[in-house]
Amino acid sequence: MTKKDLNIEECFYWMQRAFQLAQLADGETNPNPLVGAVVLDPDKLLIGEGFHSKAGSPHAEVEALRQAGDAAKGGTLLVTLEPCCHYGLTPPCTKTIIESGVSRVVVGLQDPDPRVSGNGIRLLKEAGIEVITGILKEEISFQNRAFIFRIKTGRPWGILKLAMSFDGRTGLSNGKSKWITSQEAREKVHALRAKCDAVIIGGGTLRADDPLLTSRGLRNPEPLRVVFSQSLSLPIGAQIWRTESAKTLVAFSNENALPLIQELPENVEKLKLHESNPRELLEELAKKGCNRILWECGPSLATSAIKQNCVQEIVIFMAPKLLGGLPAMTLLGNFGFDSLDQALILKEVSLAKSGKDFVLNTFLE
């Protein structure tokens, strides 16, 4: 059967469907990207679709082609990310695609992974398959911004979560901060954690709040809980040491605190850093396959993380409350700026409602 031409509008239409399929696994695929795929027969009818659900599971193209079966011959495969051409936890997708008999492949985004980047497309072309690229490229790049950032920098994409009153306070001058925001806002925080591979706090936050730091069952497995501490003066009875539902890692650098690390439960992973450095911590988390991490720390660690380019995105939950008080806690520490020209610029600021509270989402330039 002769294949029908696929016009640009049809390419965008079906790539949008593949994009939506990829989004279904958001937060589940680390260290891999989000990928969706659809297969059309020669008459441009949908005969297969799929998405990559988690590392080690079949890739989106394989799922879609498996569903399409022999009907894929002479048809079109649309996939959000360039098909892989190397052996990892699964065989190369290019081999499966070539063997399926499809005559056209539409690719949204070239894979930034140097093991693939352009090679998958080249192999398909060498096999006589027509390849169209760049469809929905910007949207797919944004969808996979965490994966792309890790590949390019060797660090996970960092999200800083903050909660404050309308006058910019994170608590009262006596240290009390529970709860500034509503239950609805806290449920959104749980959902945000579920999209991340690790959640990081400092020792001060652990001592003050004794947080559980889970998604409350929205993700399985739960994100890795990380305590970043210099002193290792940590409460032994904290909830975070219970690792039945979520793993915990303690990162430290102070040689003098080594005896204290032995007091922590055996089921807690210990990571010795060369120095108390957020960037080094993130490099180690990237080696563990983390694409996206969430900072839920106090102002000192948050400021340090921003200074070292370990924060790319900021989510602020704002309660319609006025706490006041000059000594009251604030979101961040001192950046050491001498002039307003040095201020960090935020971009693509958006504001949404969550119950009685507001959620502000923005990115650092």
The string of pLDDT tens digits covering residues 89-138 is 667 888 899 999 999 999 999 998 888 888 889 999 999 999 999 999 99
Position 276 scores a pLDDT of 82
Q: What's the CATH superfamily of 155-364?
A: Dihydrofolate Reductase, subunit A (3.40.430.10)
Spatial separation of the C-alpha atoms in residues 248 and 47, rounded to whole Å: 44
Summarize pLDDT for 334-359 with one digit per residue, the tens.
Answer: 888 888 888 899 999 999 998 899 99
Question: Which of left, alpha, beta for 348 (phi over 0: left; psi -120 to 50: alpha)?
Answer: left
In the predicted structure, residue 2 carries a pLDDT above the cut 60: no
**111, 84 Cβ separation under 8 angstroms:** yes
What's the full length of the chain, in residues?
Answer: 365
Strands (E), 28-133: 36-40, 46-51, 76-81, 104-109, 130-133
Per the structure block, which two tokens stand in for 312? 């790319």
Annotated binding site for Zn(2+): 59, 84, 93
In the predicted structure, residue 274 carries a pLDDT above the cut 90: no
Per the structure block, which two tokens stand in for 18? 């593949």
Annotated binding site: 59, 84, 93, 163, 177, 179, 193, 205, 209, 213, 216, 296, 298-304
pTM metric for this prediction? 0.90
Position 68 scores a pLDDT of 94
- Among residues 115, 147, 114, 169, the alpha carbon closest in space to that of 22 is found at 147
Spatial separation of the C-alpha atoms in residues 27 and 294, rounded to whole Å: 12
Tell me yes or no: is domain 8-148 CATH 3.40.140.10. Answer: yes
Which part of the chain is CATH 3.40.430.10?
155-364
Q: What is the β-pairing status of strands 224-228 and 269-272?
A: unpaired
DSSP-assigned beta bridge partners for residue 362: 314
Please indicate whether residue 9 is annotated as part of the active site: no
Spatial separation of the C-alpha atoms in residues 235 and 238, rounded to whole Å: 6
Annotated binding site for substrate: 177, 193, 213, 216, 296
Spatial separation of the C-alpha atoms in residues 234 and 226, rounded to whole Å: 13
- Burial of 2 from C-beta contacts in 10 A (0-12 / 13-18 / 19+): exposed
Which part of the chain is CATH 3.40.140.10?
8-148
Summarize pLDDT for 143-197 with one digit per residue, the tens.
Answer: 999 999 999 999 999 999 999 998 888 877 776 777 888 888 889 999 999 999 9
Position 220 scores a pLDDT of 86
Position 168 scores a pLDDT of 86
Q: One of 9, 10, 49, 61 is an active-site residue; which one?
A: 61
Spatial separation of the C-alpha atoms in residues 143 and 35, rounded to whole Å: 10
Per the structure block, which two tokens stand in for 316? 């602020």
* H-run or E-run covering 199: strand 198-202
Alpha helices by DSSP H, 155-298: 183-194, 203-209, 258-261, 278-287
User: Of the segments 187-196, 205-214, 225-234, 246-255, which one has the largest average pLDDT value?
Assistant: 187-196
Q: What are phi and psi of 71, to 5 degrees?
A: -65, -15
Annotated binding site for NADP(+): 163, 179, 205, 209, 298-304
Q: What is the β-pairing status of strands 157-165 and 313-319?
A: parallel
In the predicted structure, residue 1 carries a pLDDT above the cut 60: no
Alpha helices by DSSP H, the chain: 8-23, 60-68, 93-100, 119-126, 137-143, 145-153, 183-194, 203-209, 258-261, 278-287, 299-307
Spatial separation of the C-alpha atoms in residues 331 and 316, rounded to whole Å: 10
Position 87 scores a pLDDT of 67
Q: What is the β-pairing status of strands 292-295 and 157-165?
A: parallel
Position 92 scores a pLDDT of 81
